[in-house]
Amino acid sequence: MTELRVTPLGAGQDVGRSCILLTIGGKNVMLDCGMHMGYNDERRFPDFSYIAREGKLTEHLDCVIISHFHLDHCGALPYMTEMIGYDGPIYMTHPTKAICPILLEDMRKIAVDRKGETNFFTSDMIKTCMKKVIAVNLHQNIQVDDELEIKAYYAGHVLGAAMFEVRVGQQSVVYTGDYNMTPDRHLGAASIDKCRPDLLITESTYATTIRDSKRCRERDFLKKVHDCVEKGGKVLIPVFALGRAQELCILLETYWERMNLKVPIYFSLGLTEKANNYYKLFITWTSQKIKKTFVERNMFEFNHIKGFDRSYIENPGPMVVFATPGMLHAGLSLQIFKAWATNELNMVIMPGYCVAGTVGHKILNGQRKIEMENKHMLDVKLSVQYMSFSAHADAKGIMTLIGQCEPKNVMLVHGEGGKMEFLKTKIEKEFNINCYMPANGETAEIETKHNIPVDISLNLLKRECSLTSSALEPPDAKRPCVLHGALVMKGNKLQLIDPAHAFRELGLEEHHLRFTCTVSIDEEGPVTQTVDKIYQLTKSKLKNYPVQYSNDGSITVSESVLIKVSGDEESKDILVSWSYQDEELGSYLLQILRTSLTT
């Protein structure tokens, strides 16, 4: 029995700063390395001192895996590699490797612009960090070292997002990162093999939510936007640069075309072009519909959506603006919000989850007075709407993935503690497996049981099969087959080989064991008459075995089973002797003699 150890350094009963430390088969793997969007102090990064108080982390980690490019999953990576010290391998998909440095640089600029911001990584650190990254393909078996192996599966959610299977020997863990079990307008649904891992570590952002029809949500979203601009209001939609932004852009672009609307739609300048280039470059990661229509029309080239300039903030009249970041915690989206918040004609639509501590989270919880950085109180008079276009799995999606994957245990991360409790109970009841939900800094220890694989010598199999096939009765497929061999440990593998071969390899002399049993019968007549009777009986019952009558009055069956009769005119003793190799044949022959000659 072996053990898995899992410690969340972030995202334990919390959303944000995903960082899970996994110990499997003596290997230490870090799953994601994110930052918390709700903090600007030391709490924004994971506490790496948990791994090592002194020295580089390289000595304590075998590899780092990044599931996707969202900053709450990769935002602390340059800090860990360049400021704390980690030179080991970092694995992520090709789209994640391409997009990660762009978002890290945008986030760095925002952080540096804040007053009093210290201890933050530089542009050069981002570049140096990304040089350590090894890009992987989906379904590709990556051998990290002689024992540690990883494999990526499609996760939906955002371009390049992947779930990862981590395997050491017979132990395996699947880490989902963020995923979506429902296909949308630009990405497919997450999918995974029935890999039956010892542990599935799954996000649980929407642990208690079962979403309504996607079509209803889209219709409601379009109606709200249309009604607002028709009354002369401005609509702010805070989004992250890639992912949900493209989904909603495709939706609005199609609607504006159909309704022939002239109200301007804007997207943060520069990011739209970058995003479109990446979607073109990684078109194979998109949905089937996008791939099919790509040759005729690129769905990411918008006629109605233009680049936004900060000078447009004070422009009169209605408009729709997609601005980053998505939680209103900094950057352009927060600047626009502050400018538009006091006008009740305007509207902000929050299309996804907001971490506690962000302005987005505050207004969604009904706050109408927000304290800004300079202690200024902002009156929020605009309409605040929440519409879940979040690309996370809901409760139904999480249960579906568990059914697909068939894990032996489940662990919930990246969610709120109260909601996790509800889902934990549901999982344990429906799947009859253990479910864990450790808090940050808390270690969950999970016992795993495995059969030990044994390589069986081909010669041994052939010999045993030839013996079995020559038996009187055909082998019973449901009955366990007994193999006589020597169990040998070679390196880290077990082998079952022919005993004679094992003796030769070890340079030992082989000793033969024989087993004997006596059957007594009351039968009149000479011994030779009884021997002849047994000879005929044996030949008729064991037609496929060589049976020989020897000169000394004994009978041999096969090469090693011997039958010898002794006694007088009235009673006889029948001795049966066999070697350990013919135990099954010897036992079967005894059964025949006892049944046929005794009463």
Query: Which residues have a catalytic role annotated?
Result: 203
Instruction: Report d(CA 543, CA 1) in Å as an integer.
Output: 47
Query: For residue 522, how far is the Cα from the chain centroid?
Result: 71
Q: Shortest CA distance to 166 belongs to which of 197, 196, 132?
A: 197
Q: Where are the beta strands (DSSP E) in 279-392?
A: 305-308, 319-323, 347-350, 369-371, 377-379, 383-386
Pairing of strands 493-497, 486-490: antiparallel
Amino acid found at 140:
Q
Q: Where are the beta strands (DSSP E) in 2-141?
A: 2-10, 19-24, 27-31, 63-65, 90-93, 133-136
Q: Shortest CA distance to 349 belongs to which of 239, 480, 203?
A: 239
CA angle 425, 429, 435 (to 5 degrees): 55
The answer to whether 314 touches 332, Cβ cutoff 8 Å, is: no
The answer to whether 268 touches 298, Cβ cutoff 8 Å, is: no
Q: Shortest CA distance to 107 belongs to which of 77, 67, 65?
A: 77
Sheet of 555-557: strand order equals 514-522, 571-579, 561-567, 555-557, 547-549
The answer to whether 391 touches 178, Cβ cutoff 8 Å, is: yes
CA end-to-end distance (rounded Å), the chain: 51
Amino acid found at 479:
R
Which are the contacts of 5, defined by CB distance < 8 A and separation ≥ 6?
22, 23, 443, 444, 445, 446
CA angle 312, 314, 317 (to 5 degrees): 85
Pairing of strands 369-371, 514-522: unpaired
Instruction: Report d(CA 172, CA 195) in Å as an integer.
Output: 9
